[in-house]
Amino acid sequence: MSQKNETKDVSSVTKVAPIINDFCITFGTVNGSGSATANTTLMRAFFQMGIPVAGKNIFPSNIQGLPTWYTLRLSKKGYLARVEHDDIVVAMNPATIEKEMEFLVPGGVLFYADNIKFEKTRDDLIYYPMPVKKIIKEVDISPSLRDYVANMVYVGIVAQMLGVDLNIIKNALIFHFKEKTKPVDINMEVITLAADWAKENLEKQDRYFVEPMDKTTGWIMADGNTAGAIGALYGGVQFTSWYPITPASSLAESVHEFEPVLRRDPQTGKETSVIVQAEDELSAIGMAIGAGWAGLRSMTSTSGPGISLMTEYLGLAYYSEVPVVVWNVQRVGPSTGLPTRTAQGDLTFSYFLGHGDADFIMLFPGSVNECFEFGWKSFDIAERLQAPIFVISDLDLGMNEWMTPKLEYPNQPMDRGKVLWEEDLEAFAEKMKTSYGRYKDVDGDGIPYRTVVGNTHPLAPYFTRGTGHDEYAYYTEDPVAWEKGMERIKKKYETAKQYTPKPEIFTEENASIGIITAGSTHFAVEEARDILAENGVKSDYLRLRSIPFHDEVYDFIRNHDRVYIVEANRDGQLKQILTINIPECAMQLRKVAKVDGLPLSAKWITEQILQQEEK
Amino acid sequence: MMETTTSKNTNTNTIGLSRADYRGAPSTLCQGCGHNSISSQIVAACYELNIRPENIIKFSGIGCSSKSPTYFLNRSFGFNGLHGRMPSLAQGAMFANIHMKGLGVSGDGDTASIGMGQFKHLARRNAPMVYIVENNGVYGLTKGQFSATAEDGLVLKKQGTNSYLPVDICMEALVTNASFVARGFAGDPKQLKNLLKAAFSHVGLAVLDIISPCVTFHNKENSFHSYQWGKENEIALHDITFVPAKEEITIEDFEPGSTKEVELHDGSMVILKKLDQDYDPTNRVEALRVLEEAEHNNTMLTGLLYVEPCAKTMFDRYDLPDEPLNRMPNERLRPAPESMDKINRMLFLK
């Protein structure tokens, strides 16, 4: 294509009004090249400017050398979901530049390292070369570090072209390097050189700008795994056993990182929380259940393959009634699948987990902030119900850095459930008008009382088993005792609803449809509802926060002729679970489900719903 | 947790408990099962060591062996876990109160097949517990299949001939740095009781591989795991005597020069009286050598094979408070409200 055409086309699209704080930048780099620091720095700078921003890392299952992308979405309205197009691409990887060009909108911008040879196949883009090698050569650092700071060149150039104050960039670096001046200075030198170069050599032809806003005050930036770990520490977690698996590893690692900050015993200065890296997930869950049984607040964190391995022990914990919290940070399966990509594919698996009749309580944090909240709350629920509790997150929520309202100190005291110590047992018979039995339903809520190791009262010790047992924990194969025990546990599952988080419901006047989702898909649904409304389809929305379902969920479905269940899996798993729970409304439920490894976009959800609404 | 001597009053020990206080429910295992004699010796050892049953936590996996913890120490908490996965359960539970003693009972199927991984990692972490393998070379509860410790060439009724080599649990324990490794024989109760006492006094993981014949599915006269073969081919490394801490050693009981004493971490002594060879139970390589030799000579070597009294335990790797974690009040588990602001600032609070 001729230069003349290019110029003409560009000017025709850039004549429109400037776009401020409302665009998407993708950085195409090679993983292992240190780009994370560069991308995070820009993200923090935008956040500091008060601009709502969301970052998503699309990375391969590899340590060094394969393409990786980082997308920053700036949204003045505060939308945090993934979008399917790019306004700006920063291309540092020759292998992917042509593909990246395809995703740019007309009038979009391509920053590229000037050593990359490629054909400028689109004439509706603005091209800015970046002399990365030249600028890096001017910096006085050892050659081994050059590659790592190379990405700072695009930080400087992009900052200059968008209008970001370099002092804000510097503050972000100071935060990143925890006030260590040397790395801050080296990086700032590169950034300043690059910004100066851009100022002198690049003419602003594009329409994208940033301006300070005030939409991030009182917010923080964190990923869901870190927030979940901090939540667990505020929940008084005493035992964490885990085995490395993407995308869950950083949850246990964050427990390890923040434990010294938060959990030194105020009286003795000693550790009050133990972390063990187990030899596998079979062992991680065994340890966690052992600790939960013995009276410790106990958890493990894993992803789908780990849950497969933990299944048998979770069945034992269900039947022997042991409190334990299990985080499932979902990734794409089956098999190894796409281990570094996101999905919500373990819903039916968790729901039907194990052999025999069993039901598991599932919590769905729908934001980073809620990862924190469920991080502490899950222990109260587990100990109250004496049952395994799943906290079901995913890679998008768990590993990506999100802006989220600041963490609020737990608003409820710790609930340790029905644990009896020596003096409680001494008073039990008189108080309760019945003898103590480990599996006896004294209160009529299906939840028995329990004792834990170290209790020296003669009534305290019992032999816990996965084999048939009666109300006094004695072995039995008696048909009546088995059935009675299992019915009582089912009752406990009903009681659970008093303690688990209720759904959040958002309504609009004259809404014609209902939408239900759970977890990280919330952000795309939130945005899709606005687009749907613009297209004449008003919706009510229920954000599910736990299973078993509260009555509000059933009422919501009954009150809508069509309810769209939005989820990131192939088969519509949440819809399947809802269908079997409210079969009389099965025909009202509509599937909006997709898994390709990427977070759902509002655009896709909108299209699916509009299509089914025949609009 | 332990006191020293048994009382002069023969009906109770020094903490005032009778043997009955250490018993469990009646066994439902077969008459003559080796596991029943092991249960009896566990009762005897704990009674004589004056251990409070409330200070023991029992664990087991799945199999005949793993049923046995209901047949002793009724006054202890217990958890019958999953097949081969008792070690993980025990390691988690024991952090609740680091002053309690773990007692795990497993079998050869539970440990040497499905549970090999967890067994090895338990040894590697040196979790302070007694880990008994009731080893009979056969799966009893599923009616007579070969286990991984069955010898090559063993013929069983339904299974035909075993053509695989056996796993030696003591060797496995030794190469994984277990800090106490012994082999006993259910048909030798006196030695077994002393080995159990030493195991209970050891601070660290004590692996006790006890050959325990299965009278129903595997008690062939010519087999390693039978009473008769055991009685004819057992070679004890030493006569073992256990002297609890604080109890005086009356040295005249032992011929000078013929004994070796090992002081355990809790101050008690194991006195090994030389039989036909000098044996140093603190030398791991020597332990492996004598096991290899015994296998070659078709004998069953019993006794204390290896002990490292002061090895770092799982708990030594943490800086835990003295008070049991599971009794710690809530206010010491939830950080103070003031910390929340600090955390938010660490998370780039705007």
Contact A50 B339 (CB under 8 A): no
- Domains in chain B: ranges and CATH: 19-317 (3.40.50.970)
Question: Residue B203 corresponds to which tokens in the numbers above?
Answer: 């601070």
Residues of B with CB below 8 A from A293's CB? 79, 89, 92-93
Residue B36's pLDDT is: 96
Q: What pLDDT shows up at residue B253?
A: 57
pLDDT for B2 equals 46
A276 neighbourhood in chain B, CB within 8 Å = 91-92
Looking at CA atoms only, how far is residue A227 from chain B in angstroms?
Answer: 9
**Are the beta carbons of B82 and A239 separated by less than 8 Å?**
no
Task: Pick the residue of B28, B82, B103, B141 with the most A CBs within 10 A to test the interface with A by mutation.
Answer: B82
Whether residue B71 contacts residue B39, with contact meaning beta carbons closer than 8 Å, is answered with yes
Residue of B nearest to A49 (CA): B350
* B234 to chain A, closest Cα gap in Å: 35
DSSP element (H, E) containing A3: helix A3-14
Residues of B in contact with A78 (CB under 8 A): none
Task: Select the residue from B21, B54, B70, B77 to test the A interface by mutation, using most A Cβ atoms within 10 A.
Answer: B77
pLDDT at A15: 59
Burial class from Cβ neighbours inside 10 Å (0-12, 13-18, 19+) for residue A196 reads middle
pLDDT in tens, A333-383: 999 999 999 999 999 999 999 999 999 999 999 999 999 999 999 999 999
- Quickly state the pLDDT bin for A580 (edges 50, 70, 90): very high
User: Domains in chain A, please, with CATH?
Assistant: 3-209 (3.40.920.10), 222-405 (3.40.50.970), 422-498 (no CATH), 504-612 (3.40.50.920)
Number of helices (H), then strands (E), belonging to chain A: the values are: 20, 23
Chain B residues 115-174 within an 8 A CB cutoff of chain A: 117-118, 121
Q: Is the pLDDT of residue B258 over 80?
A: no
Kindly state the tokens that stand for B257.
């020069």
Which residues of chain B neighbour A465 with C-beta distances below 8 Å? 79-80
pLDDT at A11 over 60: no
Mean pLDDT across A566-594: 98
A107: left (phi over 0), alpha (psi -120 to 50) or beta: left
| C-alpha span between A524 and A529 (Å, rounded) | 9
**Residue A13 corresponds to which amino acid?**
V
What pLDDT sits at residue A141? Answer: 85
Q: A263–B70: do the CB atoms touch at under 8 Å?
A: no
Q: Residues B260-291: pLDDT tens digits?
A: 888 998 889 888 887 777 889 999 999 999 99
Do A454 and B343 lie within an 8 Å CB cutoff?
no
The interface residues of chain B toward chain A in range 76-95, judged by CB-CB distance below 8 A, are 76-82, 85-95
Do the Cβ atoms of B88 and A296 come within 8 Å? no
For A259, the token pair is 């434990």
Question: Which residues on adjacent β-strands are paired with residue A72?
Answer: A25, A55
Distance from CA of A202 to the nearest CA of B (A): 32
**CA–CA distance, A364 with A344 (Å, rounded to integer):** 11
Close Cβ partners of A423 (under 8 Å, ≥ 6 residues apart)? none
What's the ipTM?
A: 0.95
B93 vs A contacts (CB less than 8 Å): 290-291, 293-294, 453
B335 and A CB contact within 8 Å: yes
Write out chain A residues lying below 8 Å of B100, CB-based.
453-454
Q: Which residue of A has its CA nearest to B54?
A: A456
**Residue of B79, B96, B343 with shortest CB distance to A295:** B96
Cβ of A461 within 8 Å of Cβ of B94? The answer is no
How long is chain B?
350
pLDDT in tens, A307-331: 999 999 999 999 999 999 999 999 9
Amino acid at A521: T
Q: What pLDDT sits at residue A60?
A: 82
Which residues does A20 contact at the CB level (< 8 Å), separation at least 6?
Answer: A76, A209, A210, A211
Strands B155-156 and B145-146: unpaired
**A278 vs B88: CB contact, 8 Å cut-off?**
yes
Is B338 near chain A, with CB under 8 Å?
no
Q: What's the burial of B77, exposed, middle or buried (CB within 10 Å: 0-12/13-18/19+)? A: buried
Single pTM value for the model:
0.96
Q: What residue has token string 């599932």?
A: A362
pLDDT in tens, B145-192: 999 999 999 998 888 999 999 999 999 999 999 999 999 999 999 999
Query: A298 and B350: CB-CB below 8 Å?
Result: no
**Of residues A50, A286, A316, nearest to B92 (C-beta):** A286
Task: Report percent pLDDT > 70 for chain B.
Answer: 94
CB A245, CB A399: distance < 8 Å: no
pLDDT value of position B1:
42
Q: Which residue of A has its CA nearest to B341?
A: A407
Q: What is the pLDDT of residues A32-66, one digit of tens each?
A: 888 899 999 999 999 999 999 999 998 888 878 88
Which residue in the set A290, A454, A465 is minimally distant from B100, CB to CB? A454
What 3-state class would DSSP assign to A488?
A: helix
A541-573, pLDDT tens digit by residue? 999 999 999 999 999 999 999 999 999 999 999
A237: nearest CA in chain B? B333
Q: Can you tell me the distance from the alpha carbon of A59 to that of A40, in angstroms, rounded to the nearest whole number?
A: 15
Measured from the Cβ of residue B309, the count of other Cβ atoms closer than 10 Å reads 18
Residue B268 contacts residue B243 (beta carbons within 8 Å)? yes
Question: Above 60 in pLDDT, residue B241?
Answer: yes
CB atoms within 10 A of CB A573: 22
Q: DSSP of A65-117, one letter per residue?
A: SSEEEEEEEEETT---SB-SSEEEEEE--TTTHHHHHHTEEEEEEEEEETT--
Spell out which residues of chain B touch residue A291, defining contact as CB-CB under 8 Å.
92-93, 95-96
Nearest to A280 by CA among A310, A250, A255, A256: A310
Interatomic CA distance for residues A178 and A509, integer angstroms:
49
Q: pLDDT by residue (tens digit) across B5-14?
A: 554 556 999 9
Do residues A311 and B341 lie in contact, with contact meaning Cβ atoms separated by under 8 Å?
Answer: no
Chain B environment of A296 (Cβ under 8 Å): 92, 95-96, 325-326
Residue A9 has pLDDT above 80, yes or no: no
Which chain B residues are within 8 Å of A236, Cβ to Cβ? 330, 333-334
Residue of A46, A213, A263, A283 to mutate for B, most B C-beta atoms under 10 A: A283
Question: Residue A324's pLDDT is what?
Answer: 98
Which residue from B minimizes the CA distance to A313?
B82
Which of B77, B82, B117 comes nearest A453 by C-beta? B77
* Cross-chain CB nearest to A221 (options B78, B79, B347): B347
Q: Please report residues of A whose CB lies closer than 8 A to that of B90.
A: 290
Strands (E), A425-512: 463-465, 504-506
Q: Which of B76, B318, B344, B345 to mutate to test the interface with A (most CBs of A within 10 A)?
A: B344
Q: Is the CB of residue A256 less than 8 Å from the CB of residue A299?
A: no
Question: Nearest-5° angle of CA A149, CA A155, CA A156?
Answer: 100
Nearest-CA distance B98 → chain A (Å): 10
Which of A216, A271, A466 has its CB closest to that of B319? A271
Contact A235 B340 (CB under 8 A): no
CB distance B103 to B56 below 8 Å: yes
Q: What is the mean pLDDT of chain A?
A: 95
The residue-averaged pLDDT of A191-204 equals: 97
Asked if the Cβ–Cβ distance from A453 to B96 is below 8 Å, we say yes
Structural contact between residues A497 and A548, judged by C-beta atoms closer than 8 angstroms: yes
Distance CA B150, CA B165 (A): 8
